[in-house]
Structure 1
Amino acid sequence: AATAPAPAPAHPAAGATAAAAPDIPIANVKAHLSQLQSIATANGGNRAHGRAGYQASLNYVKAKLDAAGFTTRVQQFSASGRTG
């Protein structure tokens, strides 16, 4: 009976290194969470899909990513009878 050869071990390509996770200060994270909470508070405590708080949250996140140099695109979808 013929035996299949053993698979080659997985190794990164020569010279390749894994990128380190970015160092994100907790204060930056808290500032964004605070802003998202402010959006919810201004919209009756709600940021649910299809509601004004959702749209405001989407606009906030998109603006931050655009300002950081990312190319963003909003994909509309429907869920529970709401489109956003």
Structure 2
Amino acid sequence: MDTFVESKVFNPKLLGKAIRIKGFDVDGHHWDRLFLVKDINGNYISLVNDQGEKIKKVHMENFEFADEALKITVLEEKE
């Protein structure tokens, strides 16, 4: 038995960042929205929409399953 295992998790530096998510999730739903990263818990990320209303919890598999999978772009403030 291995003592250590390697696992993928969301980068904790995403917490509090504004992001754009675009692509298709594992259920075939199309996404193209802005979100704020509210929480990161291992391979789940919790998002608040751009109106600050709804919280969505998204699993990492939605970003890895195919070429059309969801893609994250971190939005940076321009000076």
Tell me the TM-score normalised to structure 1 length.
Answer: 0.21
Greater share of helix: 1
Larger C-alpha radius of gyration, 1 or 2?
A: 1
Greater share of strand: 2
With a CA cutoff of 8 Å and minimum separation of 6, indicate the structure with the bigger relative contact order. Answer: 2
